[in-house]
Structure formats: C-alpha cells, structure tokens
Amino acid sequence: MEPQRLADRAIQPNIASSPQLLLKAPVEPFQLPNPAVRNIRFLHPGYPENENILLIFPALTLGATTMKQPRLTVGVDGVLTHPSYYFCIDGVPSFDHFRFPSNLPDSWSSNISAPIQRAAAGSISDRDRTCRITCSSLPNEVARIIPAPLEEWWERNSMFVHTARPWSGAFTNYPENAVLLRRDLRYIWDNHQFALVPKQGRWVVHILDNQTTDELQERYHNLETQPIMGVAREYLFARFALAILVQMSVFMKQESPQIDHAEGQDAAVKGLVHQGILRHVCSTK
C-alpha cells in the first residue's frame, strides 16, 4: 500500500466508535390530585352546621387508623383519618392577638425536638450556601421566617430575645430569622403553603395546601430538610402558628345570623376562638 494512503487512513476518524449524543426524556407532568386524598375539617362545637368550620387541611398522610371515641388523643406524629372532627378546647384566651408562649411545647423544645446546628453569625447565603429544602445552588433567596410586616407583633412579643445580639435593633432582619430557599419555594413559603416542623426528631416540610396537581405532595410533603443551622426554633414555631392563622380565615368568613350579638361582637367572639384554636393546635402539633 502506498505511504500516502496509509497516512490518510491513520488520521481518518472512526465514526463507528464516536460518542453518541444522549438526550434526556421530557419531564413527566404531575398527576391530578389522588382522589383518596381528602380534606379534614375541624369544626366548632358551638356553631350550627355549615357555619362551624374552623380549619380545613388536606389529609396527605394516609395509611393509619384511629379509633372513634368521645375525645380523641393523638400523639405528636399521630394521623387523623376521619373526614371531620369537633375541635374542643378548655377555655378561650381573653386577648385578641396571638401571644408567643413563654415556653415551647415539648415536641418543639431543644431537648426533644429536631436539632438545629450552631453557626457563626454572618450572611444567610454564606451560612446555608444551598436551599435548605432542595439543596439547589441557584437561584436562591433569603426567606424571612417571621416577615417584616409583622415587626409590630415582633416587638410586642419581644421576639428579639431569641437572637444572639438582641441589642442590635435589627427587627426581623436577624440571621436567626431566615433560611435560604430556592426562588420558587420562597414564593410558596410567602403564601403559607407549607411550614418546617419537627417530626420524629427531624425537620421536615409539611404541606398545608392542596393544589390542582400532586406536585407539592409528591415532591415535598414530609421531606427531610437540609441541616437547619443558626436559626431560632422559636421563629419556626411562630411561623407554623402564622400558617395556621392564615388557614383560619375560612371560619371568619362564615355568617352567623342566628346568634344574637351586637354589631361586630360576633366577629370579636370568632377572633377569640381563632386565637384559642391557634394556641391549642400549635401546642399539640
């Protein structure tokens, strides 16, 4: 064979052994909500039918059973399975705004609850580095646990005492009052569609809203978070209380024409019940 032809063959690429371009399949759409997932209603025992709904939550955790009994007792990680419950509390607070408790419930305390790692003071982005739910690097945003519009509530309840530098006067801008979240989750967080709560000694996402698809449920419900660092658990508890308070709006919108109150008094009564339920739910979650 001629020398030139041998040289041409030596530099000719071997097409058969070239790496192939691998394409990924398109993302599968999420399914419609599972018809087995129903809502659970909590009812006020002193109001008539269809005017007594206190809370409505999607029953996203299935598979457990509870016995029907006059007064139901469920553990911290227990599961409710009936479609509705009368929510009975012992007494109603006499104040018209939620006041932060002096002591956290046992399920949220540092001795029993999920751990929070210590972290040096600094920017939230440097501390967390990635989204505390998805571990995504970009695009992330700082999400306040107790939002800035609640600064008056913050001051009234002396929430600054739970920070490392309470004298700095930073209002809600303390690093202990923020986590890093991916931008889409930050939006959902601001809409109070989920909370970060302790379950079985770990911090997990708890979905509070039932959407048109099962995306939030499948992706995030009961998902363990990335390590929570440098955050005050008191603020996470208050955030859970805030999410519950937002869900309570259904009770305030119901009319009660047959209850003879002076103008505005029924709304005040409902406001007191609202706060009593809020305190009780948050202390027994």
DSSP string, 118-170: ---SS-HHHHH-S-TTT---SSEEEEESS-GGGHHHHHHTTGGGGSS-GGG--
Task: Say if CB 216 and CB 207 are below 8 A apart.
Answer: yes
Place of tokens 């705004």: 97
34 found inside a domain: no
Half-sphere exposure of 74 (CA within 13 A, CB side): 21
CB-based contact 229:119 (threshold 8 Å): yes
Q: What is the pLDDT of residues 3-32, one digit of tens each?
A: 555 555 555 555 556 788 888 888 888 777
Flag whether pLDDT at 56 surpasses 80: no
On the question of pLDDT at 40 being above 90, the answer is: no
Residue 57 inside a domain? The answer is: yes
For residue 25, count other CB atoms closer than 10 A to its CB: 5
Place of tokens 């519009």: 149
Model confidence band, residue 236 (pLDDT cutoffs 50, 70, 90): very high
- 24 within some domain: no
Note the pLDDT of residue 226: 96
The verdict on residue 29 lying in a domain is no
Asked if the structure places residue 30 within a domain, the reply is no
Residue 4 parent element (H or E): helix 3-11
Mean pLDDT of 160-178: 88
Phi-psi category of residue 30: left, alpha or beta, with phi > 0 → left and psi -120 to 50 → alpha:
beta
Interacting residues of 61 by C-beta distance below 8 A, sequence separation 6+: 79, 221, 222
Q: What are phi and psi of 217, to 5 degrees?
A: -65, -50
- Residue 203, domain member (yes or no): yes
Angle (nearest 5°) at CA 37 between 207 and 108: 35
How do residues 100-122 score in pLDDT, each as one tens digit?
889 999 889 888 889 999 987 67
For residue 17, is it within any domain?
Answer: no
Tell me how many domains the chain contains. 1
Q: Any idea which of 37-46, 141-150, 242-251 has the lowest mean pLDDT?
A: 242-251
Q: What is the pLDDT of residue 89?
A: 56
Cα(19)–Cα(123) distance, rounded to whole angstroms?
Answer: 44
Mean pLDDT of 198-217: 89
Q: What is the pLDDT of residue 14?
A: 59
Domain that holds residue 270: 39-66+76-284
- The answer to whether residue 22 sits within a structural domain is no
In which residue are the tokens 């982005």 written?
Answer: 125
